[in-house]
Amino acid sequence: MRLFVAAELPGKLLDALAETSAVLREQICGRYVAPDSFHVTLAFLGEVPGSRVASAVAAIEEACLGQGPIALTLGPLGSFGRGQRSTLWQGFSRGVDELSSLAGDVRECLGDAGFAYDSALFVPHVTLMRAADLKGLQLPSPLIESGLVRSIALLSSDLSGERPRYEVLHRVALEGNGMEELEGSPVQAEDVPTVDYALLAEQLRAIGEGESLLQPVLANASALINEAMPDVSWVGFYVLDVSGELVLGPFQGKVACMRIAWGRGVCGTAAKTDETQLVPNVHEFPGHIACDSASNSEVVVPIHSRGSVWGVLDIDSTSLARFTPADAYGLELVVAALEELLVVLR
């Protein structure tokens, strides 16, 4: 049996990938992967005797112990190879580290169980096309969407037909420890948010529809978030400029720091690490920049454009521990909506 381990993608991501694939079909010649075959390969085992499937299952379950769902945001297109024999794929702008860590755990447990696997460097991606003729072509901007990986699977592949056929032999749910699901995100029961972030993201898309200028969209986005979120004292954006600093953009609230160095404070740390920063008490955060001495808690979400950090969304509160993991996840959905608009804004 030809086996591999893969992360199973949620419907929203699969739909977005399918739409991007349909656009690419009109522009590029090659062998396209069917949407029902989209997945993220974590480990490729190759030919394995049927008698060893149970051992592989046990190793995968061990690797997933305590692992909760993984939040992903689709990223830019990329390719392996050159010219007329390229493999075209779409990567991720968020969730890369978490997927890489899970892939490492899966491979380690499989290795401990005596399985050989493809040890090539893990690059989280979804293959969209093989034998692609990319010579002289500039890849278009793909559709961006966010969602949660809730399971991984051991699959067999049959290459004897016109296209590969996959069969799930075993599925492992990523349930974490004592977590509850809320709007697709694992959060503690007491972390239930007071904001409909999915609706907020849709409202932001509506605000930006048909607009080509960046500043009015950011200005209205800050106002929209400020109105929707209770108990916040500052909502705004910092944008990376050519000097490598984060420069103040549109905001709601008191006068703020106009420039923040890369890697400094909560905003600079979020940009440098490319990770959302959830800070219950800013006064305990190393190197905190006190633009407003009344601020006590903060959440900062990195914003991406063309696969790189473009800026950050920064939100403050005068209350301690105002922001929860549910808020952080919800704001990442809002930022994902903004990232879609950045494709056409200038």
- 299/307 Cα distance (integer angstroms): 22
- 158/189 Cα distance (integer angstroms): 43
Model pLDDT, residue 185: 38
Is the Cα torsion angle 79, 97, 329, 72 positive or negative in sign? positive
Amino acid at residue number 302: P
Fold topology of 185-342: Beta-Lactamase (3.30.450)
- 128/159 Cα distance (integer angstroms): 17
Q: Do residues 123 and 90 touch, judged by C-beta distance below 8 A?
A: no
* Residues 17-31: b if buried by 16+ CB within 10 A, e if exposed: beebbeebeeebebe
The SS3 of residue 257 is: coil
Segment 166-184 mean pLDDT: 66
DSSP calls for 37-54: G--EEEEEEEE--GGGHH
Q: Which residue has the tokens 């940009």?
A: 271
The SS3 of residue 5 is: strand
CATH code of domain 2-177: 3.90.1140.10
Instruction: Give pLDDT tens digits for 3-48.
Output: 999 999 999 899 999 999 999 988 888 889 999 899 999 999 999 9
- 293/318 Cα distance (integer angstroms): 9
Our CA angle for 112, 113, 119, nearest 5°, is: 60
Label residue 83 by pLDDT band (50, 70, 90): low
334 burial level (CB within 10 Å; 0-12, 13-18, 19+): buried
Label residue 180 by pLDDT band (50, 70, 90): very low
Of 180, 140, 141, 172, the closest CA to residue 155 belongs to 172
**Bridge partners, 246 (sequence order):** 240, 260
Model pLDDT, residue 189: 35
Label residue 191 by pLDDT band (50, 70, 90): very low
The answer, yes or no, to whether residue 139 has pLDDT greater than 90, is no
User: What average pLDDT does the chain have?
Assistant: 88
Contacts of 283 (CB under 8 A, 6+ apart): 296
As a whole number of Å, the end-to-end CA separation of the chain is 52
Residue 331, phi then psi, degrees to nearest 5? -70, -30
**Bridge partners, 88 (sequence order):** 79, 129
Label residue 232 by pLDDT band (50, 70, 90): very high
The SS3 of residue 299 is: strand
Helix axes of 197-208 and 325-342: crossing angle, nearest 10 degrees? 20
| Numbered ranges of CATH 3.90.1140.10 in the chain | 2-177
- 143/23 Cα distance (integer angstroms): 10
Model pLDDT, residue 213: 94
Segment 234-242 mean pLDDT: 96
**Bridge partners, 305 (sequence order):** 308
Helix axes of 214-228 and 197-208: crossing angle, nearest 10 degrees? 150
83 burial level (CB within 10 Å; 0-12, 13-18, 19+): exposed
Q: Which residue has the tokens 């995968």?
A: 60
- Asked which of 68-82, 255-269, 279-293 is least confident by mean pLDDT, the reply is 68-82
- 253/317 Cα distance (integer angstroms): 11
